């Protein structure tokens, strides 16, 4: 086919916006990360790798934030993947009730993070929250906790909220994956006299690997980006216990006006996500089989 010149016009509006509001700011984050810019004044100095040195050696909060983010990520990835997979297996057949339950589980995904944050703030509220009220009425009053107010468990409380928020979406991906596994393979397993666990291990799981890759990769990225939820639910508190990288960038840039340092953390953030995504795809790809 001959390509006429007007075809190039199709790229212009999108490319222009993408360049101005995405590529340019992302690239300038790299530039500002080598400066001491405060975000307001005209003047700033080139400071070399000072900001990066500070992130690695001079900032105990950043170290804590990084660990928080990893704790949040691991909890969400493990819990969300297990919950989604377990219920996908239970709800795999397209019966009317199963379709209803899947739609119900999916429901929280359409809410805004701020709404979900409020709902769960009420659940976790130490004085009249649903969770403590429930524990007390069940005679488990001894187990009531401060939840989000308790620095040692707050990040896990947030992780559970994140799972409630998004597991339904991952469940749908697993259901699609399970439904694409050919029925004859199960037939063969049955004839060979394989147990349920053996069938899962040698038929379902290997053929589910592509879906699992998507779920794990997506959940990981999502857990790094949980800015809205954390910001609205705890604001990073108590005592930075729930601060994650994304909220810390906001904090450093817009509360202490250290744009240069915030840019350096942003660049590190991008590198961390890049490495994790790469490692996951490598690890999960090796499990793949063809049939």
Residues of this chain, 153-172, that bind another protein according to CB under 8 A: 164, 169-170, 172
Task: Please give the Cα distance from 111 to 126 (Å, whole number).
Answer: 24
80 is a site residue for another protein (CB under 8 A):
no
Among 209, 221, 276, 284, binds another protein (CB under 8 A): 221
Among 224, 234, 241, 243, binds another protein (CB under 8 A): 224
Count of residues that bind another protein according to CB under 8 A: 87
Binding residues for another protein restricted to 3-42, rule: CB under 8 A: 3-4, 6-11, 13-15, 17-18, 20-26, 28-29, 32, 39
281 is a site residue for another protein (CB under 8 A):
no
Among 105, 159, 189, 230, binds another protein (CB under 8 A): 105
Interacting residues of 268 by C-beta distance below 8 A, sequence separation 6+:
52, 55
Q: Residues 35, 47: contact at Cβ < 8 Å? A: yes
Among 56, 74, 107, 281, binds another protein (CB under 8 A): 107
Q: Residues 247, 231: contact at Cβ < 8 Å? A: yes
148 is a site residue for another protein (CB under 8 A):
no
193 is a site residue for another protein (CB under 8 A):
no
Rounded least distance, CB 152 to another protein, Å: 23
Task: Please give the Cα distance from 170 to 178 (Å, whole number).
Answer: 12
Nearer to another protein, 39 or 206 (CB): 39
For 51-57, the CB contacts below 8 A with 24+ separation are: 51/260, 51/261, 51/263, 51/264, 52/264, 52/268, 54/261, 54/264, 55/261, 55/264, 55/265, 55/268
Nearer to another protein, 12 or 191 (CB): 12
Interacting residues of 285 by C-beta distance below 8 A, sequence separation 6+:
213
Nearer to another protein, 75 or 260 (CB): 260
């Amino acid at each position: 086919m001959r390509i006429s010149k007007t075809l190039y016009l199709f790229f212009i509006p999108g490319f222009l916006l993408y360049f101005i509001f995405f590529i340019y700011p992302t690239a300038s984050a790299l530039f500002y990360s080598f400066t001491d810019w405060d975000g307001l004044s005209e003047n700033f100095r080139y400071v070399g790798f000072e900001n990066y040195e500070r992130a690695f050696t001079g900032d105990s909060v950043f170290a804590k934030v990084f660990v928080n983010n990893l704790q949040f990520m691991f909890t969400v990835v493990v819990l969300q993947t297990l919950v989604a997979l377990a219920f996908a297996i239970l709800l795999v057949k397209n019966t009317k009730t199963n379709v209803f339950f899947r739609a119900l589980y999916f429901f929280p995904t359409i809410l805004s993070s701020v709404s979900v944050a409020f709902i769960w703030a009420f659940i976790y509220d130490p004085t009249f929250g649903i969770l403590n009220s429930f524990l007390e009425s069940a005679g488990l009053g001894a187990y009531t906790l401060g939840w989000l107010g308790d620095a040692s468990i707050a990040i896990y409380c947030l992780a559970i909220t994140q799972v409630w928020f998004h597991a339904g979406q991952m469940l749908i991906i697993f259901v699609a994956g399970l439904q694409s596994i050919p029925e004859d393979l199960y037939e063969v397993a049955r004839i060979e006299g394989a147990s349920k666990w053996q069938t899962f291990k040698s038929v379902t799981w290997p053929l589910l690997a592509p879906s699992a890759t998507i779920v794990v990769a997506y959940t990981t990225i999502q857990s790094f980006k949980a800015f809205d939820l954390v910001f609205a639910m705890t604001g990073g508190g108590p005592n930075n216990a729930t601060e994650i990288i994304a909220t810390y960038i906001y904090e450093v840039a817009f509360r202490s006006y250290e744009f240069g340092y915030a840019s350096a953390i942003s660049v590190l953030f991008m590198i961390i996500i890049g490495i994790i995504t790469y490692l996951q795809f490598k690890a999960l790809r090796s499990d793949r089989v063809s049939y």
